[in-house]
Amino acid sequence: MSKDTEVDMKEVELNELDPEKQPMTADGQAAGGEKNGSVKVKVPEDEVTFTGLSKEELMKVAGTPGWVRTRWVLLVLFWLGWLGMLAGAIVIIVQAPRCKPIPEMNWWNEGPLYQINDLEAFSDGLAGVEAKLDEINKLKVKGLVLGPLHTGQPDKVEALNLQKIDPTQGKEEALLAVLEKAHKKGISVVLDLTPNYMGSPSWFRTGDVGDVMEKVTAAAEYWMNLDVDGIKVSDLAVATSSVDWAKLQSAVQNNSTDNPKKRLLMGVVEGISAAGVSRLVNASDVDLVLSDLLSTKNGGVERIMAMDTLNSQQMSLGWGLGAAQRRQLSKQANTPGLIRLYQLLLFTMPGTPVFTYGDEIGLQAAGDASPKMVWDIEKEPVEGAVVNETAEAERTEHIAVRKWFKSLSDLRGKERSLLHGDYYSLFSSTSSLSFLRVWDQSERYITAVNWGSASELLTLKLAPTEGVELPETATVKLSTDEELVVDSSVSLDKITLKPGQAILLQFPYTG
Position 64 scores a pLDDT of 82
Quick one: pLDDT at residue 59? 73
Which string of DSSP letters, residue by residue, matches 334-383? -SHHHHHHHHHHHHHSSSEEEEETTTTTT----SSSPPPPP--TT-PPPT
Q: Which amino acid is at 153?
A: Q
CB 145 within 8 A of CB 94: no
Q: How far apart are CA 202 and CA 324, in angstroms?
A: 13
High-pLDDT (> 70) share of the chain, %: 88
Question: Quick one: average pLDDT of 419-437?
Answer: 97
Q: Other CB atoms closer than 10 Å to residue 247's CB: what's the count?
A: 17
Q: Per-residue pLDDT tens for 14-25?
A: 444 444 444 444
Nearest to 122 by CA among 130, 110, 111: 130
Q: What gap in Å lies between CA 502 and CA 337, rounded to an integer? A: 8
More confident: 61 or 149: 149
Res 354: pLDDT:
98
pLDDT band at 292 (very low <50, low <70, confident <90, very high): very high
Of 176, 174, 152, 147, the residue nearest 162 (C-alpha): 152
Summarised one tens digit per residue, pLDDT across range 304-319 is 999 999 999 999 999 9
Supply angle C-alpha 332, 334, 340, rounded to 5.
Answer: 95
Q: Give the separation between CA 208 and CA 404, rounded to whole angstroms.
A: 45
In this model, does residue 48 exceed pLDDT 70? no
As a whole number of angstroms, the distance between CA 372 and CA 119 comes to 10
**395-426 per-residue burial string, b: 16 or more CB within 10 A, e: under 16:** beebeebbebbebbbebbeebbbbbbbbbbbb
Q: Which domains does the chain have, with CATH numbers?
A: 108-378+389-414 (3.20.20.80), 424-507 (2.60.40.1180)
Measured between alpha carbons, how far is 399 from 12 in angstroms, rounded to an integer? 100
Element (H, E) at 163: strand 156-165
pTM of the model: 0.82
- The average confidence (pLDDT) of the chain is 89
pLDDT for position 366? 83
